[in-house]
Amino acid sequence: MYFYLPEEIKKYPFIRIVLPLMVGIIISINFNIPLLLSAIFLLISVLLFITFCFNRNYSKNFLLGIFLNLILLFFGMLLTKHKIEYSRTDHLTKDKGLIIGEISKDPKITDKHISLNIDVLAINHDDTWISSSGRTLLYLEKDSLSQDLRVGDMIVFSPELSEIQNKGNPEEFDYKKYLSYNLIYSSDFLSGTDWSLLETSRNIKLKYKILRFRTKLISTLNELGLDNDELAVVSALALGYKDNLSNEIRHSYSSSGAMHILAVSGLHVGIVYGMLMFFLSFMKTRKLNILKIIIVVLFIWFYAMLTGLSPSVSRASLMFTIAALGSFQKHKSVTLNSVAVSAFILLVINPLNIVDIGFQLSYLAVIGIILIQPRIYALFDVKNKFLKWFWSLTTVSIAAQLFTAPLCVYYFNQFSNYFLLTNYILIPVSTVAIWLCIITFVFSGVTFLGLFFADILVFIVKFMNMSVTFIESLPFSVSSNLYINLPQMLILYAFIISIFIFFFVSKRYKDLIIAIVSLICFSCISLFSAIQTQKQKYFIVYNINNVTAINLIDGRDNIMFANLSGIENDKISFTAKNNWLKKGLNTEKYIDLSSGKNNLLSNIATISNRKIFFKKKFIGFKSLRIFVLDDTFILTDAENKIHVDYIILSNNPRIKIEDIIKIFDFDEIIIDSSNSNYFIENLMKENIIENIQVHNVKTEGAFVLKTN
């Protein structure tokens, strides 16, 4: 029976409950509203709600609905603010004493250091240990002791915690905000003498025991012959551990549209749920059925904890828990209401889940599957069993992709064109791989059987990896360098929902008109952006470690002056890519400052833009004059001062500010990131006397000038 969507939503009370809670959380995240003020607003709303409950002189349904929504909204604000404030580490950055902390996630081992997420338990103040809270990020010097650390270990350390800072580059990934969403606000690097393992006889938390068990399972797979990419993929696929994935394999899975296969979510929990229900299907009496449901629910949550309790797997576990309970009551329970119930629970536990990309994608995918998949599936009455399965997989993939595509483009600037082909191959094969992984664990104690199933598992995973590499290599496999802003993303969702309502629900032309208006609005925003792009002119010096990176932007023309010796262009592209996409620029053109050639470009022979001039480290951009003063500069006497607008100091030039003043007439000095901290410190000390305008990109972020 078809329905009009707003009327249908009224049948699901938890949708109306979770929406104002989400609004409150979003308000609290984006606006610094004091905790006390949120509490006062919540109290007033509760009192008004109670007052109108006993006042018969007003239309209670309408007013009670308003105040109930306000209660939920202010509750979301209060909950979020409390979560953030409880995790702050400002008090730790002021205290230089000892700290006891607990490792809350598996240590991440890199070539240079060990990174640890630390939950602070206590601080030492005046030789007294005081219980404390907060979370911080530590980088430990890599040695034999730090490599043996495990999740749940307690360490004593003496840090000089500093606030997390971004590089300050335009449109760069906001690492500070990302860590704040994970309740991390400070960090420090510790040498081997700055910390020690706290030996205690305490019992570690259950979640840490389970994560240690995951590490043991990964070691078991390694002992049975899995290594390199095969071990990394199985660890991610079945156990939710992604730290061992290489950049190449991540890129292949991402470009082919298979990254969701490696992110433990509904597919994986569903496989575990199906296996349990299958193996326990003999339990049919009422008492045995109750026991079966208890076993299934407990095992699902054990698996969720084993994979790290990410928002996506938590969502799936909650929904399958509801499904298990619903099967006992013999009614369909996997509806929009159960989706809203799971979202409400997860947001109450941690309101910052709302900004987790996995959380957003997971819920959008399942909403799309619930709303759209049955209607697309009903378009054709397929009789053949194989074709029926094939059509079902197709409709599920399309429904999930429709509801997640705008968000994927918004966050990742790409769209996988062969997502259907990827799902046809990877979903059944990954299902087999998960089954094989479980069977391998079961028989790992019997050496020859464990090795036998491990060999088959290696073959299956190699096939998966070859498949995604092949799909990635196909022509037009991925549409990359896509950019939409937040309003455009929301407009795309308005278009998708309006089209869905028109074709499958209402058949009313006003819904089609909404879809058309959405497209017009989207096009108008794109047109306005294109007009602005033609007018833009920027001079940017990026903050990239050990690199001189000077970007001149003229309309769509994108010229990058850089010291490319010994580095790859990818290092610059990684930093500047989002800025280039947002500004709608053409492919970047590199000029190598470190070479003796004036116009050494990566993809053109000369500077085709007549507004840009470059010779002997002098850069001209319309009326702007820039000089790059690097370690090759030779100090000579000059009769007349050379007039430039900006001097960029690069690669630790052997010169003093007083000498620069004698030779150049300039407005400002820019110190780029290719200079050492020692050079910068000495220069800034000298500038205390000279008192000229200096911009240090290492401490102040990128230098950005919008020119006329």
Over residues 324-363, the pLDDT tens digits come to 777 665 555 557 888 898 999 999 999 999 999 989 999 9
CA distance 163 to 116: 16
Please determine, for residue 217, whether its predicted confidence score (pLDDT) is greater than 60: yes
Read off the pLDDT of each residue in 241-245 and give the average, rounded to a whole number.
89
Q: What are phi and psi of 599, to 5 degrees?
A: -125, 65
Q: What are phi and psi of 627, to 5 degrees?
A: -125, 130
Q: How many CB atoms lie within 10 A of CB 538?
A: 18
Please determine, for residue 123, whether its predicted confidence score (pLDDT) is greater than 80: yes
CA distance 96 to 91: 10
DSSP structural state of residue 475: T
- The first and second tokens of residue 214, run together, are 């995951």
Please determine, for residue 242, whether its predicted confidence score (pLDDT) is greater than 60: yes
Whether 135 and 183 have beta carbons less than 8 Å apart is answered as yes
Give me the half-sphere count of Cα atoms (radius 13 Å) on the Cβ side of residue 702: 27
Residue 372, burial from CB neighbour count under 10 angstroms (0-12, 13-18, 19+): buried
Query: Can you give the pLDDT at residue 607?
Result: 67
Read off the pLDDT of each residue in 480-499 and give the average, rounded to a whole number.
92
Reduced 3-state DSSP string for 482-508: CCCCHHHHHHHHHHHHHHHHHHHHHCC
Residue 55, burial from CB neighbour count under 10 angstroms (0-12, 13-18, 19+): exposed
Q: State CA 101 to chain mean position distance.
A: 25
CA distance 54 to 64: 11
CA distance 8 to 363: 19
| Distance linking the first and last C-alpha atoms of the chain | 61
Whether 641 and 665 have beta carbons less than 8 Å apart is answered as yes
Give me the half-sphere count of Cα atoms (radius 13 Å) on the Cβ side of residue 428: 10
Query: Can you give the pLDDT at residue 89?
Result: 65
Whether 660 and 687 have beta carbons less than 8 Å apart is answered as no
Please determine, for residue 606, whether its predicted confidence score (pLDDT) is greater than 60: no
Q: How many CB atoms lie within 10 A of CB 514?
A: 18
- In the block, residue with structure tokens 């730790």: 92
CA distance 22 to 29: 11
Please determine, for residue 666, whether its predicted confidence score (pLDDT) is greater than 60: yes
Burial track 378-409 (b if 16+ CB lie within 10 A, e otherwise): eeeeeeeeeeeeebeebbbbbbbbbbbbbbbb
Q: Which residues contact residue 454 at a Cβ distance below 8 angstroms, ignoring those fewer than 6 apart?
A: 221, 224, 225, 226, 440
Whether 350 and 83 have beta carbons less than 8 Å apart is answered as yes
State the amino acid at position 385 in one-letter form.
K
Smallest Cα–Cα separation from 577: which of 169, 165, 167? 169
668-671 and 646-649: which strand pairing? parallel
CA distance 474 to 488: 29
User: The domain 90-204 is classified under which CATH number: 3.40.50.300, 3.40.50.720, 3.40.50.2300, 2.40.50.140?
Assistant: 2.40.50.140
Query: Can you give the pLDDT at residue 634?
Result: 83
pLDDT digits (tens, 9 = 90+) for 531-550: 999 999 999 999 998 889 99
Q: State CA 533 to chain mean position distance.
A: 28
Reduced 3-state DSSP string for 257-280: CCHHHHCCCHHHHHHHHHHHHHHC
Whether 24 and 74 have beta carbons less than 8 Å apart is answered as yes
Q: Which residues contact residue 108 at a Cβ distance below 8 angstroms, ignoring those fewer than 6 apart?
A: 114, 115, 116, 243
Please determine, for residue 41, whether its predicted confidence score (pLDDT) is greater than 60: yes
State the amino acid at position 322 in one-letter form.
I
pLDDT digits (tens, 9 = 90+) for 386-444: 899 999 999 999 999 999 999 999 999 999 999 999 999 999 999 999 999 999 999 99
pLDDT digits (tens, 9 = 90+) for 326-336: 766 555 555 78
Read off the pLDDT of each residue in 628-637 and give the average, rounded to a whole number.
85
Q: State CA 500 to chain mean position distance.
A: 29
Please determine, for residue 218, whether its predicted confidence score (pLDDT) is greater than 90: yes
Please determine, for residue 471, whether its predicted confidence score (pLDDT) is greater than 90: yes
Whether 298 and 273 have beta carbons less than 8 Å apart is answered as no
DSSP structural state of residue 352: G
Please state, rounded to an integer, the average pLDDT across all residues of the chain: 86
Query: Can you give the pLDDT at residue 359?
Result: 92
Which helix (H) or strand (E) covers residue 221, if one does? helix 206-223
- The first and second tokens of residue 598, run together, are 């004036």
- What percentage of the chain has pLDDT greater than the value 90? 47
- What percentage of the chain has pLDDT greater than the value 70? 92
Read off the pLDDT of each residue in 296-324 and give the average, rounded to a whole number.
88
CA distance 121 to 155: 10
Q: Domain coordinates of the chain in residue numbers?
A: 5-86, 90-204, 209-479, 486-535, 537-706
pLDDT digits (tens, 9 = 90+) for 152-195: 999 999 888 888 889 999 999 888 888 888 888 888 999 888 89
694-696 and 668-671: which strand pairing? parallel
Give me the half-sphere count of Cα atoms (radius 13 Å) on the Cβ side of residue 552: 24
Please determine, for residue 605, whether its predicted confidence score (pLDDT) is greater than 50: no
**Mean pLDDT lowest among 88-92, 117-121, 335-339, 603-607:** 603-607
342-to-316, 334, 366 alpha-carbon distances in Å: 8, 11, 12
Q: Which residues contact residue 602 at a Cβ distance below 8 angstroms, ignoring those fewer than 6 apart?
A: 569, 588, 589, 590
Whether 361 and 407 have beta carbons less than 8 Å apart is answered as yes
Read off the pLDDT of each residue in 551-557 and give the average, rounded to a whole number.
93
Could you give the angle at the alpha carbon of 611 between the alpha carbons of 605 and 612, nearest 5°?
A: 50
CA distance 237 to 471: 19
